[in-house]
């Protein structure tokens, strides 16, 4: 015959284990502080020009928010994006996209890529009707989310996808060359950016 009285403490302990486990504080709980839509007011452009307003959206792609997709879209780009001394024919800048990877509490490393293009020709062979990529932008930053503020620091790098030895900017560069020779939309291995700008700004959450 089973002695239920002698087994009661053991059974009670088994029932209590899940409660004890739930009561323990988690040592590292991924969060969603950076998820959502953010508005940037960026100091891009010559002195006296309006700031660039851009929208960025961070969307978690795993249940715990360890990785997020980021999409960026310029609201009021210049008619001629980029440095006109280097890319006088560039006429449009597109949406940027990338990935944010969590590296600490409410802190992520972000890498995204974007492009600037030359408008397609109005006449000529069919191949001329597609816009020509002239610049590749890669931004590598760290973001920290503090309520309705997103603090971002890092670098914004520019790569050329055209060959033009006549473009000379004293003290800056002597001609530009195609840094994406296989035309896969990425800088070729070993290529260095022709320009690199510091990133140090604050974005505001849109509710």
The predicted-structure confidence for 31-88, as pLDDT tens digits, reads as follows: 689 999 999 998 777 778 788 899 999 999 998 889 999 999 999 887 766 666 778 8
What's the pLDDT score for residue 114?
A: 95
What's the pLDDT score for residue 131?
A: 87
What's the pLDDT score for residue 47?
A: 76
Distance CA(121)–CA(132), nearest Å, equals: 10
Distance CA(68)–CA(66), nearest Å, equals: 7
What's the pLDDT score for residue 24?
A: 37
Determine contact, residues 135/164, Cβ cutoff 8 Å.
no
The list of the chain residues with pLDDT below 50 reads: 2, 4, 6-29
What's the pLDDT score for residue 127?
A: 59
Buried b (16+ CB within 10 A) or exposed e, 92-109: bbbebebebebeeebebe
What's the pLDDT score for residue 21?
A: 36
170 DSSP 8-state letter:
T
What's the pLDDT score for residue 128?
A: 63
Distance CA(158)–CA(84), nearest Å, equals: 13
Distance CA(176)–CA(160), nearest Å, equals: 7
**146: Cα separation from own chain's centroid:** 18
**Sheet strands (E) in the chain:** 36-42, 52-60, 67-74, 90-93, 96-104, 107-118, 132-146, 149-160, 164-169, 173-176, 195-206
Q: Measure the N-to-C terminal CA separation of the chain; round to a whole number of Å.
A: 66
pTM, two decimals, is: 0.79
Determine contact, residues 34/100, Cβ cutoff 8 Å.
yes
The length of the chain is 207
Helix-, strand-, coil-residue percentages of the chain, each rounded to 5: 10, 45, 40
């Amino acid at each position: 015959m089973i002695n239920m009285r002698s087994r009661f403490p053991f059974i009670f302990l088994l029932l209590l284990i899940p409660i004890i486990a739930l009561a323990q504080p988690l040592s590292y709980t991924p969060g969603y502080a950076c998820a959502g839509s953010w508005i940037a007011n960026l100091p891009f452009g010559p002195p006296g020009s309006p700031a660039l307003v851009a929208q960025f959206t961070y969307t978690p792609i795993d249940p715990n928010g360890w990785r997020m997709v980021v999409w960026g879209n310029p609201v009021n780009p210049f008619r001629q994006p980029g440095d006109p001394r280097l890319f006088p024919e560039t006429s449009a800048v597109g949406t940027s996209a990338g990935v944010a990877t969590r590296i600490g509490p409410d802190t992520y490393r972000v890498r995204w890529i974007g492009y600037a293009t030359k408008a397609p020709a109005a006449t000529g062979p069919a191949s001329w009707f597609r816009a020509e990529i002239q610049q590749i932008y890669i931004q590598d930053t760290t973001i920290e989310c503090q309520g309705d503020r997103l603090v971002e620091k890092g670098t914004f790098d520019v790569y050329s996808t055209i060959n033009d030895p006549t473009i000379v900017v004293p003290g800056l560069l002597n001609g530009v060359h195609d840094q994406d020779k296989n035309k896969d939309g990425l800088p070729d291995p070993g290529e260095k950016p022709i320009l690199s700008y510091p990133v140090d700004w604050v974005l505001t959450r849109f509710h």
